[in-house]
Amino acid sequence: MMINLYSDTQSLPTEGMREAIARAEVGDEQKGQDRSVTRLIEKVAHALGKQTGMFLPSGTMCNAVAAATHCGRGEAVIAESGAHIVRYESGGLATFAGAMLEPIAGTDGKFTGAQVLEAASPGSRYTPRTTLMCVEQSCNLAGGTVWSMDQLEDVVDAAQSVGLRTHMDGARLFNAAVSTGIPASALCAGFDSVWVDFTKGLGAPFGAVLCGTEEFIERAWVWKHRFGGAMRQAGFMAAGCLYALEHQVDRLVQDHRHAQLLNEKLSAIDGIVVRYASVQTNIVYFDFSAEMPRSAPDFLKRCEERGLRLGRVGQGFRAVTYLDISKADVLRAADIVADVMATCVRGSAVAA
């Protein structure tokens, strides 16, 4: 069996979730008649402390709908340069919102209120008006690290002081909440819009919920419809998300323990350097040490041959834990990496 640490998107629906999906009460979602979708929206809006929400098939569509609702053509959006909305959404911000990006070079995916004030512009004949600030919680490309309450309040205060709207990409917001013990609603307080993904560590096959005020969600529906994201019997999708919300949130703490364990084991392997001394949520990044020049594709191939799949992000490697990954899998994964590294060293010694 392959130990698949490529991403928490590889999580598979559990038996309980499959049953919940099969039994789902359904109706016409776009007419507001799907009771499973309605229940999911109510629960998520409550958990996030927002007035209401909308159900969408994916997180990417949440970001696209939110951006298109918040800003218009030629307006500028502030986001950290490594954010998912910047790197991995095929330029959706420009395509759908017609907005341009004002990237901020942050530290570990986070920036400061001072940086917001420096980047934001009221606009002029010559300069674009900044209208939206995006924050990612937790920070995917920065090792799943979490914005603290102080950091969040700092950027929200700054954004509000210059009239920006605020959006939180909360793909892994529940990981951040479980990791810090701070309720999700507090972590996204002050944000005009926020969404959570059900297809990452929460283990559902599809679905994300975007939340905000009644007024925001009403305007967002136009974009949901334009994207073809207005659905019919979407309760089959929502049922998996409801199941995840009820049964698979608290257990995220296990994924975090497993990621921390993996980080410790990897850091002890010759030739491997972990990016973060400790792991806050479920994402581990590591690199080859400078004195261990190696071919990354060769390393990944050798790991795969031994039953371990890892992700490659930029120049480094990523390993993500989730509900199908056990402690034994993590220990085995570390053994495989150690074996591959040792084989390589021996191999090159022989070659030399």
Q: Which two tokens stand for residue 286?
A: 């590591």
Binder of ligand PLP out of 159, 171, 189, 259 (CB under 6 A): 171
In whole angstroms, the minimum distance from the beta carbon of 267 to ligand PLP comes to: 24
Q: Which DSSP helix (H) or strand (E) runs through 263?
A: helix 252-267
As a whole number of angstroms, the distance between CA 324 and CA 335 comes to 19
Which residue lies nearer to ligand PLP by CB, 86 or 274? 86
Site mask for ligand PLP (CB under 6 A), range 71-110, x = bound = -------------x--------------------------
H-helix segments, 71-183: 84-87, 92, 113-119, 149-161, 173-180
The smaller minimum CB distance to ligand PLP, of residues 88 and 301, is found at 88
Considering only residues 14, 60, 115, 260, which one is a binding residue for ligand PLP as defined by CB under 6 A?
60
Q: Is 168 in the site for ligand PLP (CB under 6 A)?
A: no
Is there binding between residue 254 and ligand PLP (CB under 6 A)?
Answer: no
Give the nearest distance from C-beta 101 to ligand PLP in angstroms: 15
Q: Which of 5, 24, 50, 59 touches ligand PLP by CB under 6 A?
A: 59
Stretch that binds ligand PLP, among 12-20, 57-65, 160-168, 269-277 (CB under 6 A): 57-65
Among the candidate windows 44-52, 58-66, 212-220, 301-309, which touches ligand PLP by CB under 6 A? 58-66
Helix (H, G, I), strand (E, B) or coil at 53: strand
∠ CA 158-208-45 to the nearest 5 degrees?
Answer: 60
Per-residue x/- marks for ligand PLP, 187-206, CB under 6 A?
----------x-x-------
Residues 189 and 205: their CA atoms lie apart, in Å, by 28
Q: CB burial class (10 A; 0-12, 13-18, 19+) of residue 238? A: buried
Nearer to ligand PLP, 230 or 241 (CB): 241
Closest distance of CB 58 from ligand PLP, Å? 3
Scanning residues 128 to 157, which ones bind ligand PLP (CB under 6 A)?
Answer: 136, 140
- 207 to each of 166, 228, 231, how far by Cα in Å? 22, 14, 12
With tokens 């502030």, the residue in question is: 78
The least CB distance from residue 121 to ligand PLP, in Å, is: 26
The contacts of residue 91 (CB under 8 Å, 6+ apart) are none
Least spacing, CB of residue 303 vs ligand PLP, in Å: 23
Give the contacts of 330 (CB within 8 A, at least 6 positions apart). 258, 261, 262, 265, 321
| Residues paired with 80 in a beta bridge | 104
CB environment 105-128: b (16+ within 10 A), e (fewer):
ebebbbbebebbeebbeeeeeeee
Nearest to 67 by CA among 111, 104, 101: 101
Which of 67, 184, 196, 208 is close enough to bind ligand PLP by CB under 6 A?
208
- # residues contacting ligand PLP (CB under 6 A): 11
Which of 58, 81, 160, 267 is the binder for ligand PLP (CB under 6 A)? 58
Q: Which residue is nearest to ligand PLP (CB)?
A: 59
The least CB distance from residue 346 to ligand PLP, in Å, is 37
Binding site for ligand PLP (CB under 6 A): 58-60, 84, 136, 140, 169, 171, 197, 199, 208
